[in-house]
Amino acid sequence: MSADKSLGGISLLDDISFKDKRVFLRVDFNCPLKDGVVTDDTRIKAALPTIKFLMEKGAKLLIGSHLGRPEGKKDMDFSMSPVSERLGELTGYNILQMDDPMSDAPKALLKQLKKDELIVLENLRFAKDEKERSGKLANHWASFIDVYINDAFGVCHRKDTSVYDLPLLIKNRGAGRLIEKEIKALGEVRNNPKRPFAVIMGGAKVSDKVPMIKEFMEQTDIFVIGGAMAFTFLKAKGFPVGNSLVENDLVSFCKDLMRSLDVRDKKLLLPVDFIEAKSINSETGKLVQKISDEMSGFDIGPKSAKLFVEELKSARSVLWNGPMGVFENEAFSEGTKTLCKGLAGSSAEVIVGGGDTAAAANLFGGEFSHISTGGGASLAFLEGQELPGLKALRPLRKEVLEDTRETLDPVDPAEFEKDGGFDAKARAEDQKLKNKG
């Protein structure tokens, strides 16, 4: 077992023997497609270290992933075929693509795989049981698998069959390189950040971040709030926000939070200027310091971005979760872009949350200490939740007992009788002790 406490007993690749073992590798190849071609292979590349390690160690590899939301039906718009093709191009391996996640073919094929061959199952969500979890799918796979490895951090917050039920049926199970990296990076910033420590929160809703705010309240020195969630805070302070998105039921919470931060002598930075427009789809926006009644804010302004970047220069570690505006629309992208460039040039350890934040970091470029591949999974982990996908990798109590149980050497009946039984042996030991005394 791995000795790393942050992994909670989860075995890593170096802890397991893979030579000639049939290995089920759960990955997250949920890649964007256009006209049957992968348009962004970031998630495929993220899994390559684990795939190559397993192949080099002689594993008979079966890869499974979901793609999109086919809702338990075979929909070829979500077929894994384009992903398998791209994986083959990146690795040079011969990819055997299955046409059904419930296929019996891997049972025979796994034993016959050549050194440079591996199998990719069709989209796991083509099978209803991936979500319904009757046990049929998990038992089918478990019947011909020796080792289970999860390297799909982005779905570890879900209790899908391939993420939760299957590993519990396979004693030899563990985490791949990507999950190892995620747990260590996110665990470090959650449990032991370098101070001063700054947390940047953006995105649409305060409600999405309440557990995270509570989790980081005591150890965070600087809170930076941007994105649409800033407008609930600004309304709590009495600033006009026009038609901007506000969670009115959380205005009181924001007031209490700001008072708590003030009492604790924590810094709270809110936007001081904005890009307003009529609609999220507007092609242009207007820079203002006060949002008009009939307008909404869709990005922070340049003064806010500069203020945030300057203040963050004092931080030794930064956690960034949530964009500063609707960066997918170029008219509202500058705030997020400026912050991204500023963080990339920082000397601090910068951890970038997954989902939209990771997309923004990849779009605007720059080097960061870690860019998470998990959206909801990253947020749940940072909030202190136990992720089902990680829980399923940890040894069960009965497995620990089986592995650590001490066994006595078997007694030879003939020797037992010759010595007069256990009582005679015990008397002899007592006599030895008396002689020594």
Question: Looking at the annotation, which residues are catalytic?
Answer: 43, 205, 355, 376
C-alpha dist (Å) from residue 61 to 1, 45, 109, 189: 22, 17, 10, 34
What would the DSSP string read from start to end of 273-314?
-EEEES-TT-S--EEESS--TT-EEEEE-HHHHHHHHHHHTT
The Cα 121–Cα 170 span in angstroms is 18
Q: Which residue has the tokens 């061959």?
A: 117
The Cα 153–Cα 378 span in angstroms is 8
Non-local CB neighbours of 263 within 8 Å, separated by 6+ positions: none
Task: Give the closest residue to 46 by CA, choosing from 183, 189, 182.
Answer: 182
**Order of strands, edge to edge, in the sheet holding 197-201?**
267-269, 222-225, 197-201, 317-321, 349-352, 370-371
The alpha-carbon radius of gyration of the chain (Å, integer) is 28
Q: Are 319 and 355 in contact (CB under 8 A)?
A: no
End-to-end CA distance of the chain: 45
Token pair belonging to 432: 């030895």
Q: How many CA atoms lie within 13 A of 252 on its CB side?
A: 1
The Cα 207–Cα 187 span in angstroms is 23
C-alpha dist (Å) from residue 230 to 209, 240, 251, 272: 12, 12, 11, 10
